[in-house]
């Protein structure tokens, strides 16, 4: 982060903080609406569907990284077939969706972000303007591989579709299609529809389990606290604490507590866990800055006590 300059557009400590502070999702962490198709009166307006990707690209470049497409979106999180078709044929939505990797050249950790359409709608009945709900989140490589892998249901649909087309080919004569052929055609069509239902159900389930920033911050904070208190996996635990703290104070009932307690864990790592602190030439100074932030801005009693001990 010491590569950041004062004039950068996005002076944030992590992509998670960028997503939260630039409001790429809604304030509660859920998917946010972006206009992707303007009505006739506003047809010259630029699509908003590429806004999250544009902001994340700028941030990655400011960090000295290279931002590139890792996985194309298959629009699996869009449950409605008609909506999925409209979105998948819109150039702006296609170019603004998918999983992207910010690849760093030095020891700084690379990161992956997913931008996925959830649904789309007509903005109002008097206009042709349409918006898409995009959900932006940071993913690990394994999460991205799991989310973007082809599902068995999709493969089944692809295999059954040609068969369905074949059975509907016009017969040579009106009497050529027997009762058995009609039954076989109906059976294959039913199989195709069942396979598509399974695909949509799987996509909906995967969309439902996608973590909000608040949930992910809580999860990695709890993991960090558990491992630090037990003395296990200390380097990884401190990394998790740092990631949770980097999210900043998110909206929600637990937002302040998770943020401040994550900061206390990071300060503890910088002060008393050598395997982590040795990575930073000014670990004590960094710890003191974190504690001062928590003491001055959040009136954190633990931070005040630790600051007194460090004097």
Mean pLDDT for 118-136 is 91
pLDDT exceeds cutoff 90 at 117: yes
Q: Are 142 and 123 in contact (CB under 8 A)?
A: no
Q: Distance between CA 199 and CA 156 in Å, rounded?
A: 9
User: What pLDDT is stored for residue 187 in this prediction?
Assistant: 77
**Domain spans of the chain, in order of start:** 15-148, 152-207, 213-310
Q: Are 101 and 56 in contact (CB under 8 A)?
A: no
User: What pLDDT is stored for residue 178 in this prediction?
Assistant: 65
Mean pLDDT, the chain, integer: 81
Q: Distance between CA 175 and CA 60 in Å, rounded?
A: 65
User: What pLDDT is stored for residue 203 in this prediction?
Assistant: 54
Q: Distance between CA 66 and CA 59 in Å, rounded?
A: 10
Mark out the alpha helices in 209-272 (DSSP H runs): 213-230, 234-246, 255-272
Q: Are 266 and 241 in contact (CB under 8 A)?
A: yes
User: What pLDDT is stored for residue 3 in this prediction?
Assistant: 39
Q: Distance between CA 4 and CA 12 in Å, rounded?
A: 9
Nearest C-alpha neighbor of 11 from the set 246, 262, 251: 246
pLDDT exceeds cutoff 90 at 195: no
Whole-structure pTM value: 0.52
Q: What is the DSSP letter of 40?
A: G
Q: Distance between CA 26 and CA 29 in Å, rounded?
A: 5
User: What pLDDT is stored for residue 66 in this prediction?
Assistant: 92
pLDDT band (50, 70, 90) for residue 107 = low
Encode pLDDT of 201-221 as tens digits.
655 555 445 567 788 888 889
Nearest C-alpha neighbor of 73 from the set 103, 98, 55, 56: 98
User: What pLDDT is stored for residue 279 in this prediction?
Assistant: 78
Encode pLDDT of 256-290 as tens digits.
899 899 999 999 999 999 988 887 778 888 888 89
User: What pLDDT is stored for residue 121 in this prediction?
Assistant: 93
User: What pLDDT is stored for residue 10 in this prediction?
Assistant: 67
Determine which helix (DSSP H) or strand (DSSP E) holds 144, and give its type and residue range. Answer: helix 141-148
User: What pLDDT is stored for residue 125 in this prediction?
Assistant: 83
Q: Distance between CA 66 and CA 44 in Å, rounded?
A: 31
pLDDT exceeds cutoff 60 at 141: yes
Q: Are 36 and 132 in contact (CB under 8 A)?
A: yes
Question: 7-11, 87-91, 216-220, 307-311: which range is least confident on average?
Answer: 7-11
Mean pLDDT for 243-256 is 78
User: What pLDDT is stored for residue 27 in this prediction?
Assistant: 82
């Amino acid at each position: 982060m010491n590569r950041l300059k004062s004039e950068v557009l996005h002076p944030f400590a992590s992509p998670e903080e960028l997503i939260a502070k630039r409001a790429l999702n809604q304030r509660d962490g859920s998917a946010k609406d972006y206009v992707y198709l303007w009505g006739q009166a506003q047809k010259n307006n630029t699509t908003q569907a590429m806004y999250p990707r544009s902001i994340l690209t700028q941030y990655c470049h400011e960090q000295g990284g290279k931002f590139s497409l890792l996985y194309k979106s298959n629009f699996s999180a869009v449950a409605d077939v008609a909506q999925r078709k409209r979105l998948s044929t819109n150039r702006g939505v296609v170019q603004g969706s998918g999983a992207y990797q910010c690849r760093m050249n030095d020891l700084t950790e690379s990161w992956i972000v997913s931008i996925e359409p959830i649904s789309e709608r007509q903005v109002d009945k008097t206009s042709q303007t349409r918006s898409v709900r995009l959900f932006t989140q940071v993913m690990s490589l394994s999460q991205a591989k799991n989310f973007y892998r082809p599902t068995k249901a999709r493969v089944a649909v692809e295999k059954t579709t040609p068969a369905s087309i074949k059975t509907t080919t016009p017969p040579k004569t009106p009497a050529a299609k027997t009762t058995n052929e009609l039954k076989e055609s109906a059976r294959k069509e039913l199989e195709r529809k069942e396979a598509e239902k399974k695909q949509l159900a799987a996509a909906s389930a995967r969309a439902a389990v996608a973590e909000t920033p608040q949930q992910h911050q809580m999860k990695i904070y709890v993991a960090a606290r558990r491992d630090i208190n037990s003395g296990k996996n200390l380097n990884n635990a401190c990394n998790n604490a740092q990631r949770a703290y980097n999210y900043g104070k998110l909206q929600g009932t637990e937002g302040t507590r998770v943020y401040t307690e994550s900061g206390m864990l990071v300060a503890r790592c910088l002060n008393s866990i050598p395997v982590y602190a040795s990575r930073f030439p000014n670990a004590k100074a960094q710890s003191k800055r974190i504690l001062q932030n928590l003491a001055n801005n959040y009136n954190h009693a633990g931070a005040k006590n630790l600051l007194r001990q460090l004097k």
